Chains A and B, each alone.
Chain A
Amino acid sequence: MFDQLSDRLQSTLSDVRSRGKLGESDIDSAMRDIRLALLEADVNFKVVKAFTKTLKERCLGAEVMDSLDPGQQVVKIVNEELADLMGGTGAELAMASSGPTVILMAGLQGSGKTTACAKLAQYFKKQRKDVALAACDVYRPAAVDQLVTMGQRAGAHVYEKGTDTDPVDIATWALDRAREERRDVLVIDTAGRLHIDQDLMKELSRIRDKTKPHDVLLVVDAMTGQDAVGVAESFAEAAEFDGVVMTKLDGDARGGAALSVKAVTGKPIMFASTGEKIEDFDRFHPDRMAQRILGMGDVLSLIEKAESQVDEKSAEELEEKLKKDQFTLEDFLTQMKQVRKMGPLSGILGMLPGMGAMKELRNANIDERQLDRTEAIILSMTPAERADPHLIKGRRRKRIADGSGTRVQEVRALVKQFDQMRVMMRSMANGKMPDPQKLMRMSGQVPKPKVRRR
């Protein structure tokens, strides 16, 4: 998502890194590049000015100039400052000590509030909380229907009174109901409004005053331009929001709004919405995001993701097998299924360090169907064949190909790849890191250029 910014910063900084010593003019030219890169990324103009000023002061300071590797120091500083700009190490929602935790959602039209409400409900559901939604958008046609449908998908109860009731009344009524029914969390959806619409902004303040939410979240579209700051400031005034939900971060928006909102309002970005599905919603980690922008990878998020999907015991067993070279196609199948549970492979690749720098890999359109075929081939093998793929010769190969609806050549290729992979895995298990590109070739996912058909 921050591809362009990341590219720019990386090329700028690798320039600096290739030199032994930095002069003031080197720093100046790096700052110019960073400034332009940030502007192109829609970072607010004023934020850019302030950011590059701080950055320059630190870069000209003793920590860089006296360092043995000044380039590396500059990277470190840019990383720290970027993370700081986006909100340090991340912020927590305030939760009620007793009774329902009330969360009020606000934002411009089309920023994705209703969807974010449902995703937030799903997020709490996963923590085994009883969540209810209040439908207070009585203006946009069918907004209530949308919340009801999405609420059901998230497994949340939806309090709605159609579109003829005052939103403030709906909110207070929903809160009463949530208290009576002992819900853990109540998320209040509100109508999208322009921050200059006085009446609607007053209505928002009234909902806030009546329901006394523990958290007010502002929903901001990641594609917003220079105006993001003005919007955030107005909402800060009317709704005193506590944090931001960034939506549509799965596009190629350069996300400058993400950088600017925290800098101007001081309110952290708490959640990020990263896809169409209701599960595509997560805590926002500014420090990790900064590393991702610089192409240093987001290994922590990847590990967390893996941890939530893979159980520890089977992971240990696997490691044992790898060391003893007892890894079979059966294990490979299990592994592949587990990895695929984590989501589309292209998303996972983006989190790996160094992947950002490999352009051709980043643009690789990973064909999930190819993985389906691989699965089908293995599933068509007998247990004996899965344990010892060398059994697979002429007629067995033909049978497997027929059974899986593939061709003999594909079966042969898979067995060959598996052999190579086993060798590599063994060395990995013994502590050697493989070349990621080699890894890609072996898994049969040779990157191919994107072809856009008309």
Chain B
Amino acid sequence: MIDLGSREPANVAPPEEAEPERRRGVFRRLRESLSKSRQALQEEITASVFEKIDDETWELLEEALILADVGAPTTAAVVERLEHEVDSGAVPAEGEAIRNRLIEILAEVASTARAKIDLSAQPAVLMMVGVNGTGKTTTIGKIAWHLSKEFGLSVVMGAGDTYRAAAAEQLAEWADRAGAELVRGQAGADPGSVAYDAVSAAVARNADVVIVDTAGRLHTQDNLMEELAKVRRVIGKLIPEAPHETLISIDATTGQNGLRQAKVFSEAVEVDGVVITKLDGTARGGIALAISAELGIPVKLIGVGEKLEDLRPFDPSEYATALLSE
């Protein structure tokens, strides 16, 4: 999930050893957490839908995807493609085959080129952005924990959310758990200066990764988006290529507005990837499909629970399968 470049993961057990065991656990967890969505989708996509392939079949498929928040344009494109393939005989007009092909198409839509998180630079700068309440600070806490405990990297966190009351305290607790160093400013301080301090501290201490938190903001607030662009510029002054990764967190319960969020944020700060959070609810997170289909921004991580290990790499086909399979 993470590109560490030439850096050797130091003084930790090679992750591969623990991996198979955990992988099973993770996918079971993902499947469990998506089971509600699946059940709901299942109700729509039952065998009966495919018993007789006619207009109603496609309509019901469309309904199912709309209910999963995939959005009208992407839904229409996916179903149209499937219908075309069935009509032309490329896919047998039979329930099981159609469902399997649907999973393939959905996975294809969700797949995007570079899904790895690029932390090969030294220090690598990761910036987290997003709308209020989408889980930025929690995600940062989890990422820091993974990098530090699993890969043995030294992590500096910058408490760039100087606006929300107690945001820095929240991050401080996470820094504590992850054993990361926290750089913070006064409440109401300029977030750019906090980012600057955090990155300088990371450079001075030769840290591996610096993660910069930012205040949640609605993408419609131009002045706050401009502030975000400024934070990015400030970081770029210290290290020209930085931030190396800018991630946007999007709440899985978000509807079609998630598309606007991803678009506007990436216009302001060149977003490299999406983290879909709170996928453990009944929300189906279909907006992830819409975002990669319409904007080409890859989904890189998903959050499927409150535990530290519940932050996982996004696997398109696993995701599509979990969404549809029995």
Taking CB atoms, residues of chain A closer than 8 Å to B260 are: 252
Complex-state Cα separation, A454 to B251, whole angstroms: 25
Q: Let me know if A146 is at the binding interface, CB within 8 A.
A: yes
- Contact status of A227 and B281, CB under 8 A, knowing A110-B135, A196-B36, A248-B132: yes
- Contact status of A254 and B69, CB under 8 A, knowing A145-B165, A145-B169, A227-B282: no
Q: How far in angstroms is the closest Cβ of chain A from B235?
A: 14
Q: Let me know if B196 is at the binding interface, CB within 8 A.
A: no
Asked whether, in the complex, the Cβ of A248 is within 8 Å of the Cβ of B254, the reply is no
Taking CB atoms, residues of chain A closer than 8 Å to B135 are: 109-110
- Contact status of A39 and B134, CB under 8 A, knowing A142-B170, A145-B169: no
Asked whether, in the complex, the Cβ of A150 is within 8 Å of the Cβ of B165, the reply is yes
Q: Let me know if B256 is at the binding interface, CB within 8 A.
A: yes
Q: Let me know if A141 is at the binding interface, CB within 8 A.
A: yes
Q: How far in angstroms is the closest Cβ of chain A from B45?
A: 15
Q: Let me know if A36 is at the binding interface, CB within 8 A.
A: yes
Interchain CB contact (< 8 A) of B166 among A108, A149, A195, A252 = A149
Complex-state Cα separation, A66 to B286, whole angstroms: 45
CB closest chain-B residue, reference A107 = B133
Asked whether, in the complex, the Cβ of B69 is within 8 Å of the Cβ of A226, the reply is yes
Complex-state Cα separation, A111 to B278, whole angstroms: 12
Contact size class for B? Answer: 35 or more
Taking CB atoms, residues of chain A closer than 8 Å to B226 are: 453
Binary contact readout A152-187 vs B (1 if CB under 8 angstroms, 0 otherwise): 010000000000000000000000000000000000
Q: Let me know if A272 is at the binding interface, CB within 8 A.
A: no
Complex-state Cα separation, A145 to B173, whole angstroms: 12
Q: How far in angstroms is the closest Cβ of chain A from B255?
A: 3
CB closest chain-A residue, reference B280 = A194
- Contact status of A141 and B253, CB under 8 A, knowing A112-B133, A149-B166: no
Interchain CB contact (< 8 A) of A251 among B163, B173, B218 = B218
Binary contact readout B52-82 vs A (1 if CB under 8 angstroms, 0 otherwise): 0000000000010011110110000000000
Q: Let me know if B26 is at the binding interface, CB within 8 A.
A: no
Pick the most buried of A45, A141, A196: most chain B CB atoms within 10 A of its CB. Answer: A141
CB closest chain-A residue, reference B137 = A141
Interchain CB contact (< 8 A) of B222 among A228, A250, A257, A450 = A450
Q: Let me know if A42 is at the binding interface, CB within 8 A.
A: yes
**A 416-439 contacts with B by CB, 8 A:** none
Binary contact readout A133-151 vs B (1 if CB under 8 angstroms, 0 otherwise): 0000000111101101110
Taking CB atoms, residues of chain B closer than 8 Å to A257 are: 255
Q: How far in angstroms is the closest Cβ of chain B from A53?
A: 15
Taking CB atoms, residues of chain B closer than 8 Å to A149 are: 165-166
Binary contact readout A368-382 vs B (1 if CB under 8 angstroms, 0 otherwise): 000000000000000
Taking CB atoms, residues of chain A closer than 8 Å to B31 are: none
Interchain CB contact (< 8 A) of A223 among B257, B278, B286 = B257
Interchain CB contact (< 8 A) of A110 among B134, B267, B280, B286 = B134
Asked whether, in the complex, the Cβ of B258 is within 8 Å of the Cβ of A223, the reply is yes
Q: Let me know if A231 is at the binding interface, CB within 8 A.
A: yes
Complex-state Cα separation, A112 to B267, whole angstroms: 26
Asked whether, in the complex, the Cβ of B131 is within 8 Å of the Cβ of A36, the reply is no
Taking CB atoms, residues of chain A closer than 8 Å to B261 are: 223
Asked whether, in the complex, the Cβ of A141 is within 8 Å of the Cβ of B169, the reply is yes
CB closest chain-B residue, reference A194 = B281
**B 22-65 contacts with A by CB, 8 A:** 36, 63
Taking CB atoms, residues of chain A closer than 8 Å to B72 are: 36, 39-40
Asked whether, in the complex, the Cβ of A142 is within 8 Å of the Cβ of B169, the reply is yes
Q: Let me know if B203 is at the binding interface, CB within 8 A.
A: no
Pick the most buried of A230, A251, A450: most chain B CB atoms within 10 A of its CB. Answer: A251
CB closest chain-A residue, reference B75 = A39
Q: Let me know if B239 is at the binding interface, CB within 8 A.
A: no
Asked whether, in the complex, the Cβ of B253 is within 8 Å of the Cβ of A108, the reply is yes
**B 120-144 contacts with A by CB, 8 A:** 131-135
Complex-state Cα separation, A110 to B254, whole angstroms: 11
Taking CB atoms, residues of chain A closer than 8 Å to B133 are: 109-112, 221, 248
Asked whether, in the complex, the Cβ of B281 is within 8 Å of the Cβ of A145, the reply is no
Q: Let me know if A225 is at the binding interface, CB within 8 A.
A: yes
Complex-state Cα separation, A110 to B250, whole angstroms: 11
Asked whether, in the complex, the Cβ of B258 is within 8 Å of the Cβ of A226, the reply is no
Q: Let me know if A73 is at the binding interface, CB within 8 A.
A: no
Pick the most buried of A39, A253, A453: most chain B CB atoms within 10 A of its CB. Answer: A253
CB closest chain-B residue, reference A220 = B253
Pick the most buried of A140, A226, A453: most chain B CB atoms within 10 A of its CB. Answer: A226
Binary contact readout B217-258 vs A (1 if CB under 8 angstroms, 0 otherwise): 011111001100100000000000000000000010111111
Interchain CB contact (< 8 A) of B220 among A221, A227, A250 = A250
- Contact status of A110 and B283, CB under 8 A, knowing A40-B72, A223-B257, A248-B132: no
Complex-state Cα separation, A230 to B69, whole angstroms: 13
Asked whether, in the complex, the Cβ of A110 is within 8 Å of the Cβ of B132, the reply is yes
- Contact status of A251 and B170, CB under 8 A, knowing A45-B63, A45-B66, A110-B134: no
Query: 16 new A-B pairs (CB below 8 Å) besides A226-B284, A231-B282, A276-B221?
Result: A42-B257, A108-B278, A110-B134, A112-B133, A145-B166, A146-B167, A196-B281, A221-B254, A223-B257, A226-B68, A227-B281, A228-B253, A248-B132, A251-B218, A251-B220, A256-B255
Q: Which 9 A-B pairs have the closest CB atoms?
A: A225-B255, A110-B133, A42-B255, A149-B165, A145-B166, A142-B169, A146-B166, A142-B170, A141-B173
User: Can you report 10 A-B residue pairs in the complex whose CB atoms are below 8 A from each other?
Assistant: A40-B256, A42-B69, A141-B169, A141-B173, A142-B173, A149-B166, A196-B36, A231-B253, A452-B222, A453-B226
